[in-house]
Amino acid sequence: MKRWRRRRLFDGIRTVPLTPAQVLQLRSHQDRVGSTLIGLFIVASFAVTVATVVVFASDSGQDHRAFIMVAAFDSLLLAASFALVREGRERTGTILALVVGMLHVLWVCIETSAGVSQESLLFGLAMAPLIVIRDELPYLRMGLAAAAVSIFITVELALPDGAGAHPLTAGLAEDFTRANKVIAGVFIMAVAVAIQFKFSATKRILEGAARYGELRATTDELTGVYNRRPVVAQLSEWAQRDRGNYAIALIDLDHFKTVNDEFGHDCGDKILQLVASTLRNHFRDSDMVSRWGGDEFLVLIPGVRHADLHPILERLRRSIALIQKECSEHVHSVSVSIGAAMGAIGQTPDECIAAADHALYRAKEEGRNKVVVVGVGTPSHALGRPPADEIERRSVPPRVTK
């Protein structure tokens, strides 16, 4: 026999809804990470500049005093840019660090030659503005990236291998070239990872905020189940497609007004939450559990047979009857009346709901704590609850004459 409840084995990766407070928290975390990345970028640039000074100072075959002085000045500028960032002048400090880094690469290539592969660092410097310029300034980002690319083209065209003013000795140049390639590769990989992190974090925030807005529009805040809107939309879609083979169940708590009056709305709200949790656990993922209003829930059940509907709802009624909630030292038991109807091709959503409402009315009239299920009805535009005698007349099956 086909099981009524089916477990979801795989449902992909769902977007987690984010409340406004969670969005602010994630943005604050993203800002802290961004500040850390900017600091690391400046520190790494400072380290590369100092290492370049050490390499050139160790070359006894050429006089690099002019370059060493310029590189030392670059180091001071990078230290100043780090201080600016720490003082809160992030944009100014970041732009200064990027410009110093580009000019430092150009000066190394002028001093030696393009053969030491120092210009390969410009690829990373062209990508860096995407992460270190955190303000929404696209023209500034593009301008800095274009500057890095322009310097690279200039080096490649105007400074061919061996055209430097004071090229390094052969052995030192070979080691320096190898180190530059490694640093450039690591730098580009680090920038790519940072860009991916920034993109993923921003996407998560945007999708999470959108998902939260969608849930606010379609979910009852108290119980966490659907509200009327998605159920009506689903019924309207099925009506347009002339789909039948579904059921609507209306679940109404018995004597709930007494609970609110005697024990307060806090107690009533807790009971509603317990009933909603029981409903979610009882029905399949494909079923739509909604709070229809007040103490009434509506469940839209697709793909169910008429013969199975009453046993399903009877088990639900018994499960809810097990709920007990202590309110003001009084243990309150819960019971519900359930009315259900099978949907029919040609019915409007209002007619489908009205048929289930008629069945619920019968359950209330017959003593509450009861399940009443009616079959497939004919299209009707009567929307209210009919008189009791009309309900009885409709519930009696027609006689079959031979």
Predicted pLDDT of residue 6? 35
Q: Clarify whether residues 162 and 300 are in a common domain.
A: no
Q: 129 to each of 84, 92, 195, 201, 346, how far by Cα in Å?
A: 17, 13, 10, 17, 60
3-state secondary structure of 302: strand
**How many domains, in total, are found in the chain?**
2
The model's pTM is 0.61
Neighbouring CB atoms inside 10 A of 358's CB total 23
Would you call 154 exposed, middle or buried from its count of C-beta atoms within 10 A (0-12, 13-18, 19+)?
Answer: middle
Task: Kindly state whether residue 363 falls inside one of the protein's structural domains.
Answer: yes
Predicted pLDDT of residue 54? 87
**Which one is catalytic: 295, 308, 350, 389?**
295
Task: Kindly state whether residue 11 falls inside one of the protein's structural domains.
Answer: no
Q: What percent of the residues of the chain are helix, what percent strand, and what percent coil, each to the nearest 5?
A: 60, 10, 25
Could you list the mean pLDDT of each consecutive 10-residue stretch along the chain, which spans 402 residues? 35 64 86 88 90 83 80 91 90 93 87 76 89 86 92 82 71 82 89 88 86 83 89 86 85 86 81 92 92 92 89 93 79 88 80 90 91 65 42 41 35
Q: What are phi and psi of 230, to 5 degrees?
A: -70, -30
Q: Clarify whether residues 268 and 183 are in a common domain.
A: no
Residues ≥6 apart with Cβ < 8 Å to 251: 275, 279, 296, 297, 298, 299, 316, 320, 336, 337, 338
Q: Clarify whether residues 245 and 282 are in a common domain.
A: yes
Domain that holds residue 358: 228-395
Using CA atoms of 201, 202, 205, 207 in order, give the dihedral in degrees to the nearest 10: -110
Task: Kindly state whether residue 325 falls inside one of the protein's structural domains.
Answer: yes
292 close to 356: Cβ distance less than 8 angstroms: no
Task: Kindly state whether residue 219 falls inside one of the protein's structural domains.
Answer: no
295 is catalytic: yes
83/319 Cα distance (integer angstroms): 66
53/107 Cα distance (integer angstroms): 12
Q: Clarify whether residues 313 and 173 are in a common domain.
A: no
Would you call 314 exposed, middle or buried from its count of C-beta atoms within 10 A (0-12, 13-18, 19+)?
Answer: middle
Of 186, 214, 242, the residue that ends a domain is: 214
Sign of CA dihedral 134, 137, 143, 145: positive
Predicted pLDDT of residue 76? 92
Q: Clarify whether residues 377 and 264 are in a common domain.
A: yes
Task: Kindly state whether residue 223 falls inside one of the protein's structural domains.
Answer: no
φ/ψ bin of 142: left (φ > 0), alpha (ψ from -120 to 50), beta (otherwise): alpha
Neighbouring CB atoms inside 10 A of 323's CB total 16
Q: 118 to each of 50, 80, 266, how far by Cα in Å?
A: 14, 23, 70
Q: Clarify whether residues 192 and 232 are in a common domain.
A: no
Predicted pLDDT of residue 21? 84
How does 372-400 read in b/e, with b if 16+ C-beta sit within 10 Å? bbbeebeeeeeeebeeeeebeeeeeeeee
Task: Kindly state whether residue 103 falls inside one of the protein's structural domains.
Answer: yes
If residue 252 lies in a helix (H) or strand (E), which one and from where to where? Answer: strand 246-253
Of 179, 214, 249, the residue that ends a domain is: 214
- For residue 372, the domain's CATH number is 3.30.70.270
Q: Which residues on neighbouring strands pair with residue 246, listed in sequence order?
A: 302
Q: Clarify whether residues 33 and 179 are in a common domain.
A: yes
55 close to 108: Cβ distance less than 8 angstroms: no
Residues ≥6 apart with Cβ < 8 Å to 310: 340, 371, 373
Task: Kindly state whether residue 2 falls inside one of the protein's structural domains.
Answer: no
Q: Clarify whether residues 189 and 251 are in a common domain.
A: no
Q: Clarify whether residues 239 and 171 are in a common domain.
A: no
Predicted pLDDT of residue 248? 93
Q: Beta strand 371-376 with 336-342: parallel, antiparallel or unpaired?
A: parallel
Neighbouring CB atoms inside 10 A of 217's CB total 10
Q: Clarify whether residues 238 and 382 are in a common domain.
A: yes
Residues ≥6 apart with Cβ < 8 Å to 342: 244, 246, 247, 306, 309, 374, 375, 376, 377
Predicted pLDDT of residue 161? 63
Predicted pLDDT of residue 162? 60
Q: Clarify whether residues 264 and 391 are in a common domain.
A: yes
Q: Clarify whether residues 66 and 199 are in a common domain.
A: yes
Task: Kindly state whether residue 402 falls inside one of the protein's structural domains.
Answer: no
